Chain A
Amino acid sequence: MPAGIHIEAIDAFRYRIPRDAGRGMRTDVVVYASEALMAQIRKDLSLEQAMNVATLPGIAGSSLAMPDIHQGYGFPIGGVAAMDAADGVVSPGGVGFDINCGVRLVRTTLSADEVRPKLRELVDQVFRDVPCGAGGAGFIKIGPKELDRVLADGAGWMVKNGYGEERDAGFAEAGGALEGADAGAVSSRAKERGIPQLGTLGSGNHFLEVQYVEEIHDEAAARAFGIVKGQVVVLIHSGSRGLGHQVCTDYVAEMNKVMPKYNITLPDRQLACCPIRAPEGQAYLGAMCAAANFAWANRQAIMHFLRGAFRRIFGESAHLDLIYDVCHNIAKRERYEVGGKKRDLLVHRKGATRAFPAGHREVPADYRHVGQPVFVPGSMGTASWVLVGAEGAMRETFGSVCHGAGRLMSRTAVRKGKDARQETKKLEDAGILVRSETRDGILEELPEAYKNVDEVIEVVHNAGLARKVSRLRPMGVIKG
């Protein structure tokens, strides 16, 4: 972290960096973190990036940083920024290259005791059935016309075309498709990258993890989500693949071109933005919604292949239901009270999860009495969490909470002196089977590369942004 940043502790879980007009900041930065996490956060450029976000025109409230924040490019990862819908800006970099990267949690009718004897068979089957897509294409063959329908209908297209069950789409954020998608605003290059990659996991931090429910912290919410202790669940982490990456690349270039026209100057060109109301801003939002729908279709297809793998190993009685699907890279039109006034905002969540509380109309009817499920993956050797959205998120963080453990070490640093075979064996000894298409996939995502997910969860739980529901332990991991 560069010297000269003034940080004040608000309480045990909140810190403030007051607005510094000299740096062009229009508002404060508020960081949700414990003292220990704050010490780690200070080590990289993430706070400076959160301060840069505070310079964006039309920012409402504070530039927010979640406890899993780490250095990104332009925006920090784990950042939330709400822009006034009338006179604010939209930033493609503020959504990220992986538009609607997100997680879905699937519950099974099996217990850990039933799965463990066949775990190796199951993991091998899932590894065969769910391609990561690094080298070749996926199993779904569609043409440009069908792709346009996928971009309009998201998860619903998959269900309609046999890649899912009727109930699935209703249990994804926004019903698995954002309104306002404009396939015409998506370049032919983005479509070309997307078509062969539909139904593939991707690499990097994307994964599919077979887990079991280790602890229940909130009985009522767990009951609503259909989870009990010892049950096997599957967490899928993927996004919009090459299609979303190209949409972001195209529009960052476009925004860099038009910024002078709108008299916008920024401390970092990766933050490139334009007014929401400008034609370029509207075009980006149409393309972003289309890419988000591609991502929901992608995660739906992966879940369909997963169902097939479970049936092959455990027979027809093994049933898989979607608990929920949340995105953590997105910009959404939402309404919040800021400074005593209700305002229409475009909430940029870059590595942050929506966390609506009980009673919110956008939470599926089955869960509305407890709140929206939130999934926070840890690293492949530790744990993941199910949370439920709380009122504090509506008051303080534009209905948002953290999205993961947050990386601590670079890919090269964590790999140093390690052998993939040995590390795989170590995880296996701890009861976790790992399959990866690439050697680097395992080494670069080792547990020590990440912050302690439990510490991150303590912060958001105690700050009242979301409540703990359940802790999940990994059994089998598929990595790109």
Chain B
Amino acid sequence: MFEILEHPADIGFRAFGGTLPELFANAAKAMLSIACELDDVAPKAEFAISATGADYESLLVNWLSEVLYWFDGMRIALREFQVTHLEPDSIRATASGERRDAEHHRSKLIVKAVTWHQLKIARAESGWMAEVYLDI
């Protein structure tokens, strides 16, 4: 579903999806798996998350920035994403997770932000792939 990409100072990932909605869902999971141990997160509640953009690239940056804000600002850890609507300028999804709790959720790296560095969305062998670098 995703793999880690190397960068001299930061970290990136390459996410895959059979469809574009799956790609966006997997990209969100890839990012959060760098920030915390996803297995520690229970899907206790459902949340509606959305973002807008000018094209698929900016939509991906804005979508991931939105998910990061939920994690770091609203302090909600999410583990599963169901993308219910995707156009080049907008995305809507239902995500499941729970309020962050330092006792039960192991933290990994603090993700500062989603960058445009070498951002790529392209056709893959079976579906789509995206490459994203994060500032950590």
Measured CB to CB, the residues of A under 8 A from B are 44, 70-74, 77, 93, 96-98, 133-136, 189, 192-193, 196, 202-205, 242, 245-246, 248-249, 252-253, 256-257, 268-270, 272, 407-413, 437-438, 440, 480
Which of B6-14, B79-87, B89-97 makes up part of the contact surface?
B6-14
Interface centre among B7, B62, B110, by most chain A C-beta atoms within 10 angstroms, is B110
Residues of B within 8 A of A242 (CB): 72-73, 112
A252 to B110, Cβ gap below 8 A? no
Are the CB atoms of B54 and A257 closer together than 8 Å?
A: yes
**In this complex, what residue of A is CB-closest to B35?**
A134
From the candidates A72, A73, A440, name the one contacting B108 in the complex (CB within 8 A). A440
Is the beta-carbon distance between A269 and B109 smaller than 8 angstroms? no
What are 20 of the A-B contact pairs (CB < 8 Å)? A44-B8, A70-B9, A74-B115, A77-B9, A97-B113, A97-B135, A135-B102, A204-B112, A204-B136, A242-B112, A245-B112, A249-B113, A252-B116, A257-B54, A268-B116, A407-B9, A411-B7, A413-B6, A438-B109, A440-B108
Determine chain A's interface SS by DSSP, over half rule: mixed
Bound Cα distance from A407 to B7, whole angstroms = 10
Instruction: Identify the 8 closest CB pairs spanning chains A and B, nearest first.
Output: A73-B117, A135-B102, A410-B6, A136-B102, A134-B107, A270-B116, A73-B115, A203-B110
Find chain A residues with CB under 8 A from B136 CB.
203-204
Question: Which residues of A sit under 8 angstroms from B54, Cβ to Cβ?
Answer: 256-257
Chain B interface, >50% SS class? loop
Residue in contact with B112 in the complex, picked from A77, A97, A268, A413, CB distance below 8 Å: A97
Q: A203-B109, A268-B116 are in contact. Are A189 and B9 (CB under 8 A)?
A: no
Q: Pick the contact of B107: A73, A135, A248 (CB < 8 A).
A: A135
For residue B11, which residue of chain A has the nearest CB? A411
Give every chain A residue within 8 A of B10 (Cβ-Cβ). 73, 411
How far apart sit A203 and B135, CA to CA, in the bound complex (Å)? 11
CB distance from B74 to the nearest CB of A (A): 7
Give chain B residues whose Cβ lies under 8 Å from the Cβ of A134: 107-108, 110
Within 8 A of A (CB), among B99-136: 100, 102, 105-110, 112-117, 119, 133, 135-136
Q: Are A411 and B69 in contact (CB under 8 A)?
A: no
Closest CB in chain B relative to A68 CB, distance in Å? 11
Contacts of A44 in B (CB 8 A): 8
A77 to B8, CA, bound (A): 11
Q: Is the CB of A135 within 8 A of B100?
A: yes
How many angstroms from the CA of A70 to the CA of B110 in the assembled complex? 21
Contact status A73-B133, CB under 8 Å: yes
Nearest Cβ on chain B to A447's Cβ, whole angstroms: 15
Contact yes or no, B6 A411, CB < 8 A: yes
Residue from A193, A269, A412 in contact with B73 in the complex, judged by beta carbons closer than 8 Å: A193
Contact A74 B117 (CB under 8 A): yes
A206 (CB) vs chain B CBs: closest residue: B110
Instruction: Count chain A CB atoms within 10 A of each CB in B58, B65, B113 and give the residue with the most.
Output: B113
8 Å CB contact of B8 from A70, A203, A437: A70
Q: Does B61 belong to the interface (CB within 8 Å)?
A: yes
Q: How far is the CA of A213 from the CA of B98 in the complex (A)?
A: 47
A44 to B107, CA, bound (A): 30
Task: Let me know if A410 and B105 touch, CB within 8 A.
Answer: no
User: What is the bound-complex CA distance between A33 and B7, given in angstroms?
Assistant: 21
Contacts of B8 in A (CB 8 A): 44, 70-71, 407-410
Cβ of B49 under 8 Å from chain A: no
- List the A residue with the shortest CB-CB distance to B100: A135
Give min CB distance, B8 to chain A, whole Å. 5
Any A CB within 8 A of the CB of B4: yes
B110, A480: Cβ atoms closer than 8 Å: yes
Q: Which B residues touch A246, using CB under 8 A? A: 69, 73, 113
Residues of A within 8 A of B100 (CB): 135
Which of chain A's residues has its CB closest to B74's CB? A192
In the complex the two chains form, what is the Cα distance from A413 to B6 in whole Å? 8
The residues in B between 3 and 25 inclusive whose CB is less than 8 angstroms from any CB of A are: 4, 6-11
Contact B9 A249, beta carbon cutoff 8 Å: no
Inter-chain contacts of B7 with A (CB < 8 A): 71, 410-411
Nearest-CB distance from A288 to chain B (Å)?
14
Please name the residue on chain B nearest to A192 by beta carbon.
B73
